[in-house]
Amino acid sequence: MESSAIHPEQQPTSEAARITSIDVLRGFAVLGILVMNVQSFSMPIAAYSNPPAYGDLTGANLWTWVVAHVFVSQKMITIFSMLFGAGILLMAERAEASGRATLLHYRRMGWLILFGLLHAHLLWYGDILYAYGMCGLVAYLFRNRPPASLFLWGVVFIAIASAMSLAFGLMVQSAPPQAVAAFERDWRPPADEIAAEIDAYRGGWLDQLRLRSEQAFSLETLPFFTIIGPDVLGRMLLGMALYRLGVFSARRSRGFYLALIALGFLVGVSISALGVYLNFAAGWDVRYSFFFGSQLNGWASILVALGWVGAVMLACQTRALAPVTRRLAAVGRMAFSNYILQTLICTTIFYGHGLGLFGRVDRVGQIAIVVGVWVVQLAISPIWLRNFHYGPLEWLWRSLTYWRPQPFRRVSKGPA
């Protein structure tokens, strides 16, 4: 009869077995992604994709948006997606010996989908967990493919998402005026709709619920299956390939990582900046910017993400930066908990059940709040991990995946 002892594949990953550079990169990404998410927390939904739709876009606020867009928009989510793909391989490798790798994976994805739905509908519509869980169901089927095949399929899925976006754009350009007006209404909502959204999010939790759930549902359905899902899946597969090639281990040569940095920050940033210029030149017109205007940044984001990967891997190789990378690694080991904590902090600041600052903070002020959240998470994550094996949500997710409570509190306190 099976004893109640914890099997090796269910034990906390030992410090020696962890790939610290992956934790560092994940921590960097979870902090960086808030630079973009804070716009969704603090402003009407249209302003995320169409910055002139709401708020001041001149002077320092303009340059804050441009820098965030060129260096961060879709770049951090690309790193996150790549690491999620790498994580699928890591967990599968650990679980293969038990013969339960597939069961554990799909149970894990099922719980993540549920977490994502709860997060999106109850807290914040901009959730990414649902997309990761859904795409993880498919990405697992590619786990045994070699890097070249993973790269090819990754590009194919991203190209499918890009082609779907272009197809929708062509439909808009050839649509009758009344249909174009409907797209324009979503792209640049009239003042009364903006005011209604602001009033809802400045209201109590129940006042927000209907609008937030509508916004979440709209992202989880047609846009997910046609554009978001294929794009995220493609980036996961790229991450699987990079993991197989040892890119995330910080063990490739310094020259290799410098080449990634050059590719990302010379080529990728230039392409993304060109996309910004073209959107402004088009006046952020719905017939161009809604679907066509995102193409350059979408593809460039892969290159810029690789540039960030190269920079973080070099940081991991640099002893003098160890105090910084240790804190980033702690943030990364608690990425799920820190991601949700960002939601709790920001919704408390911006929504009506908290300080009610929704629509009142300009883009420069948003970045100041982001920096404050960074300081909190960089401070508390190492302290937490000195006392516990996992972040609270990591522990819950793992316990539900293995269907038994996992070790949580450390018996003896030591360095995280």
pLDDT tens digits, 47-65: 999 999 999 999 999 999 9
Helix or strand or coil: residue 189?
coil
- Residues linked to residue 96 through DSSP beta bridges, in sequence order: none
Q: Which residues does the chain have with pLDDT short of 70? A: 1-18, 97-99, 412-416
In total, the chain counts a number of residues equal to: 416
Residue 67, token pair as written in the block = 């820098």
Residue 55, token pair as written in the block = 């708020």
Q: How far apart are CA 136 and CA 236, in angstroms?
A: 8
Q: What is the pLDDT of residue 98?
A: 66
382 in Cβ contact with 330 (< 8 Å): yes
Residue 166, token pair as written in the block = 């272009």
CA distances from 172 to 141, 178, 248, 250 (A): 35, 11, 41, 45
Q: 302, 311, 296: which is closest to 261 by C-alpha?
A: 311
Q: What is the pLDDT of residue 177?
A: 83
Residue 161, token pair as written in the block = 């998402």
Angle, vertex CA 110, rays to CA 105 and CA 114, nearest 5: 145
H/E segment holding residue 182: helix 177-187
Q: What is the pLDDT of residue 412?
A: 64
Residue 336: which residues within 8 A CB-CB, separation 6 or more?
Answer: 391, 393, 394, 397
Q: What is the pLDDT of residue 9?
A: 43
| Cα first-last separation, the chain | 36
Helix or strand or coil: residue 135?
helix
103 in Cβ contact with 92 (< 8 Å): no
Model pTM score:
0.92
